[in-house]
Structure 1
Amino acid sequence: MTSTVFKQLYRSALADSERLDEDSVLLDIGAKDGKIASALADAIGCRAIVLDIDFDEDATDRDCDLIRGDGTEIPLPDDSVDAIVSNMVFEHVPDEEALIADTARVLSDDGVFISICPNRAWPGDGHGYPLGMPWLPESIGGRVARPYDQKYERGEGWYREAYHPVWSITVRRELSRYFETVEYRSGDLLDLDLDASNGKQRLLETFAEPLELAFSSRLGRRLVEAVFPTPVYVSKHPKRGRRRPNG
């Protein structure tokens, strides 16, 4: 998928939150370039904050505030943002539940958290590794990853430090611990303007009919959610005072 598709998806999900306006604050977690946050904030007319441990050079040219920090310890007050987006970030943090817990802390009571991540149930991973990479134990995966990390100039420790595949069913369970409402919204992808020249988007168009049929029933939705490569969740109504288990 491309950032263009994700921008459409975020706009669609944010449109459901009628209270977002020029006084709102939108937080994008883990966006080094700030593209999606600045585009969404421009469409809404609100303030955009981008949080990451590092940024691309062109991020400073975008209309958003850049904050260096860790998504598991967001340097913002409780109940201080109205919308949060997270695009392909869960798989890069060792403890995605800590990130989810802190999004619930900083999000307003009527705010919305939209998260997109790759699903470990799918053999491809979107990081240039061979098929099946998400399923390998770390001891084997580290050896397989070495030439690919060198090819993409990611650094010797990238696989060990920044590659932590997640299961969609685990992400849903963790989101449900901290939010009253969690919606699976990958079906929204079928309503977007897809680029037929893009292989992944063309594949999605090819399977649009059977996917729509599957989404029409509760059992079908659950089965798709378990295996679909790009789970999209829209979470609302953060649970106040919720503490992590053993944390």
Structure 2
Amino acid sequence: MDKYQCHFSETNTAVSSLGSRTPKFEKIWSIIGNYSSIDFQNAVCLEVGCSAGIIVNLLSKHFRTAIVINIDHNAILSAHKIMNVEACLLAGDALSLPLKDKSLDVIICNHVYEHVTNSHLMMSEIYRVLKDEGFCFFSAGNKFSIIEGHYHIPFLSWLPKSIADLYLRITGKGQEYYEKHLSYYGLRKLLSNFEIEDYTIRIIKNSRLPI
């Protein structure tokens, strides 16, 4: 377990911002809502890595049961404070989900993979607990994005870790680069167990929705 995972919400204030999280919820729901085969009012939804709980608080109004899991205990405490509907908030590891096989209808994994120590194990766990007719909303940053999404400096995720660490220090953005991004083809391989429907181009064309 990387130490920074356990305190991620303390060092990334955007995850606690309603102004930042609400547009992301709108993006997620605009995509999820296309799956009319799911009876959402009777469905069970899991959000992996709930940050401060803003997105799941908005999502949970649409589901019978909402579950969140986060390794960051402070984020779970923050989520408890803002929840205005009942949800099951679990402090735990996405690499070992404390849930039964094929028990979930919908899983949200929103920009989480790069923060875990083993993204392939996380996706294997998501596949295990997802029902055969269920689906996972998965959004991810690309290693070869020009501007890195967390520190907003160019080419950071392209670099070997030792050079990326030095780059962060020189720019005054941090001390160590923990994130582990994959290329587009690496992401396709990560999701190889799933049937993939790629919404990237549609979201880019709809400038109202955040990427």
| Aligned residue number for residue 168 of structure 2 | 145
- Quick one: distance in 2 between partners of 1:144 and 1:66? 37
In the alignment, the residues of structure 2 paired with residue 23 and residue 51 of structure 1 have an alpha-carbon distance, to the nearest angstrom, of 20
Asked whether 1:183 is paired with 2:206, we answer: no
- Whose RCO is larger (CA < 8 A, sep 6+)? 1
**Shift in CA distance, 173/49, structure 1 to aligned 2, threshold 3 Å:** same
2:187 aligns with one of 164, 171, 176: 171
User: 1:153-189, CA deviations, whole angstroms, 9 ceiling, x for partnerless residues?
Assistant: xxx5x52xx311221221112212x22x111111332
Using the aligned pairs only, state the percent identity.
26
The structure having more radius of gyration, on CA atoms, is: 1
Call closer, same or farther: CA 1:129–1:14 in 2, change over 3 Å: closer
Alignment match, 2:8: none
Of 36, 39, 62, the match for 2:55? 36
Evaluate the alpha carbon distance shift between residue 125 and residue 190 of structure 1 in structure 2; reply closer, same or farther with a 3 A threshold.
closer
RMSD value over aligned CA atoms? 2.2
Name the counterpart of 2:96.
Answer: 73
Alpha carbons of 1:93 and 1:59: their partners in 2 closer, same or farther (altered >3 Å)?
same
Give the Cα separation in 2 of the matches to 1:5 and 1:186.
16
Shift of 1:60: 0.5
Superposition misfits of 4+ residues, deviation over 6 angstroms: none
Q: Please, what TM-score do these two structures have when normalized by structure 2?
A: 0.79
Residue of 130, 136, 139 corresponding to 1:116: 139
CA distance in 1 between partners of 2:20 and 2:182 (Å): 20
Q: How many residues align?
A: 185
Q: Shift in Å at residue 6 of structure 1?
A: 2.1
Give the Cα separation in 1 of the matches to 2:121 and 2:135.
18
**Distance in 1 of aligned mates of 2:41 and 2:185:** 35
Paired letter, 2:154 = L
The aligned counterpart of 1:209 is none
Alpha-carbon distance change, 125 to 193 in structure 1, aligned in 2, over 3 angstroms: closer
Shift of 1:4: 2.8
Distance 1:190 1:163, change over 3 A: closer
Structure 2's unaligned 5+ residue stretches are 1-18
Task: Return 5+ residue gaps in structure 1 as ranges.
Answer: 150-155, 196-200, 202-229, 231-247
Deviation at 1:193, TM superposition (A): 6.5
| 1:58 corresponding residue in structure 2 | 78
Number of the residue aligned with 1:106: 129
Cα distance per residue 1:100-124 (max 9 Å; x no partner): 1110000011101011111111121
Matching residue of 1:152: none
Tell me how far 1:191 sits from its aligned partner: 6.2
Deviation at 1:12, TM superposition (A): 2.0
